[in-house]
Structure 1
């Protein structure tokens, strides 16, 4: 079961001039966007830029220590190792990074990080980070269920526009998780001339959009350039609408842990593909979609506000804050819930009850379908004519 590290050992000897960017390269750059490079890379796009070898030397030790004790999503701690191994290969050593932009605003529910990867002259990859440990990003994810544009999406469009104006040549865009959504959104908001300079957009297990965005002329114009990859049992990339086909990839993990990009299996320059999604994730997807059809946009907004008000009552800004003070956080949430207005509490309970109801229904139907499939089928009785034969 090879993964992205094995890919580096296999393909690291060939530069991008000899072997063009592929889907594994896209996942690698998308994953490197989780790195904390703000003390190394300036926010200016293009110049000054730094080769990957230089970034690796300045970065490795401090971030290895940072994630040693707290790594809630299970793969942040791998980023320094990935950076180092990539920097030691001929393929990635002279790739240049620039334009590292990071904006975290808890009050505005904005979590945005992106950077420019220059593969060679006039060829660039805009890498967008997915949701990290900042609670602003998690709130922003929930807001996607009812908002046409969340702050990070607007920032992604602005970032891409600056890159198109500052740099010559062609572009790839990509990201993992919410970063994949941001990459697609940035391409949707680009002008036609800018879209023509985009070679491909890689959405690695990132959620989709409201249906009217997918149906828009600008989205349809780039639809053929979007490459969406989802693991067999991860529900993240199935959320909302994509409007196009997706490729199912194999993972060495199970269930939601398949969201981890380091668990994705590779074979040469491609992922290992699966025939389809697991029945479990299809059941979850059905439950979520049914739930969303029964909850209006206004009710979704009220639910997200109520839910996030409870989290904000803890005073936490990151997942680490909550896990470090589990008891105090639980007490603060309970206290905030008891002090919520009657209508807000009723909406929160009603929406959650409806979600769990649809989840149980979908899972039950899936299990019953599996049982029915396994049971021996009764043979039809022989006809009189067949017995006479």
Structure 2
């Protein structure tokens, strides 16, 4: 709807806004391999030209219809290509890394909006199991491989770009955008206008307290749907806004459900109680586990997933029997101490979850009682 409404105006006529940020952050999920030049790029390619050469990749991506976060991307791409606003945006410096040994999933691309103005988009977690493992590793590592890669990418690419910069990404991509800015060279950091974190996880305390993070925190714009789950992980500081969504629960993570009015989002007042309860559950659970126990838990869970032979979540959903066998095999092959720690981690999580559920129910009842009392008094 936004592209239909605003697609006739180029960026010099109507300046870049928060909705443009989410659109480009979403397009960063697409496969531009072999079409958009890698860094250091000596040339760029218009989005309209990408469309002419992207038939095979688009067909492959459209096949991911089992994933609700991806299935609308081909349509978004088509609408963007047809619009005056986006079709001449130029792409460059595309990189896509999936390293199973290092447990790293990283991808980024530069969208040059007009002369002297660029949006650097970092891809969020894709369909790969290794990408999801890296997300979990954020619970015990000060910096995961993708975060370090993001900082290196920004320093390298931005030094070749002239002008001002916007940074952004959806899900983990938002986290990477903030991390990259925090650990960028001062000259590059000073050129950044805004960093958009679209429902991405927060950071370890060590990152938040770092000098670089403190210097960019006022440039960070965190956008969270009302029932955020991913965005509630770890810690955020600075300003954030709550976006209204047409979906419910964790499905609000789907950027296509965020409600738009004109050049901005429709905002809600507060994060849902369920999201706050989830955040408290995860925090309380992690506080009871030493970092090495968190690492053991993550390694054990993903050893089970990867032992099925699946490399993506989509493949895993088709291998339910293999997954069950792998769970039994991995658990039985664990040494006694590792098995004990895994059981403890799982038990603690469910224990904390139940406490949060009970607390939410009590709070809901308490909030309803005064209202019910007034209704009875009016009836009398």
**Which residue in 1 is equivalent to 2:45?**
50
8 Å CA contact retained: 1:235, 1:256: yes
Q: How far off its partner does 1:186 sit?
A: 0.5
- Give the alignment of 1:203-218 within 5 angstroms: 203-218=197-212
Of residues 56, 74, 84, the one that matches 1:90 is 84
Q: How far off its partner does 1:67 sit?
A: 4.3
**Which residue in 2 is equivalent to 1:21?**
16
**After alignment, is 331-340 or 341-350 more displaced?**
331-340
Q: Does 1:367 find its partner at 2:371? A: no
Instruction: Point out the structure with max Rg over C-alpha.
Output: 1
* Runs of 4+ residues over 4 Å off in structure 1: 376-379
Of residues 263, 267, 270, the one that matches 2:257 is 263
Q: Does 1:146 find its partner at 2:160? A: no
Q: Does 1:278 find its partner at 2:272? A: yes
8 Å CA contact retained: 2:304, 2:323: no
Q: How far off its partner does 1:372 sit?
A: 2.0
**Which residue in 2 is equivalent to 1:33?**
28
**Which residue in 2 is equivalent to 1:252?**
246
| Counterparts of 1:219 and 1:337, CA distance in 2 | 40
**Which residue in 2 is equivalent to 1:170?**
164
Query: The residue matched to 2:85 in structure 1 has which SS?
Result: coil
8 Å CA contact retained: 2:304, 2:330: yes
**Which residue in 1 is equivalent to 2:378?**
none
Q: Does 1:135 find its partner at 2:138? A: no
* Residues 5-57 of structure 1: CA deviation (Å, up to 9, x unaligned): x1101111111112111000000110001000102112134432111111122
| Counterparts of 1:222 and 1:366, CA distance in 2 | 35
8 Å CA contact retained: 1:130, 1:176: yes
8 Å CA contact retained: 1:63, 1:80: no
Query: The residue matched to 1:202 in structure 2 has which SS?
Result: strand
Q: How far off its partner does 1:217 sit?
A: 1.3
Number of aligned residues:
373
Q: How far off its partner does 1:138 sit?
A: 0.7
Query: The residue matched to 1:91 in structure 2 has which SS?
Result: helix
| Counterparts of 2:189 and 2:367, CA distance in 1 | 47
| Counterparts of 2:14 and 2:260, CA distance in 1 | 17
TM-score (norm 1): 0.93
- Structure 1 unaligned segments of length 5 or more: list them: 1-5, 380-389
- Give the alignment of 1:170-319 within 5 angstroms: 170-319=164-313
TM-score (norm 2): 0.95
8 Å CA contact retained: 1:116, 1:126: yes
8 Å CA contact retained: 1:180, 1:204: yes
8 Å CA contact retained: 1:44, 1:98: yes
**Which residue in 2 is equivalent to 1:385?**
none
- Structure 2 unaligned segments of length 5 or more: list them: 375-380
Query: The residue matched to 2:101 in structure 1 has which SS?
Result: coil
**After alignment, is 37-46 or 27-36 more displaced?**
37-46
Q: Does 1:331 find its partner at 2:329? A: no
| Counterparts of 1:45 and 1:263, CA distance in 2 | 35
**Which residue in 2 is equivalent to 1:106?**
100
Q: Does 1:8 find its partner at 2:3? A: yes
| Counterparts of 2:141 and 2:87, CA distance in 1 | 40
Q: Does 1:74 find its partner at 2:51? A: no
Query: The residue matched to 2:165 in structure 1 has which SS?
Result: strand
Q: How far off its partner does 1:268 sit?
A: 0.7
**Which residue in 2 is equivalent to 1:354?**
348
Q: Could you say what the CA RMSD is over the residues aligned between the two structures, in angstroms?
A: 1.5
8 Å CA contact retained: 1:180, 1:205: yes
| Counterparts of 1:378 and 1:134, CA distance in 2 | 52
| Counterparts of 1:201 and 1:72, CA distance in 2 | 31
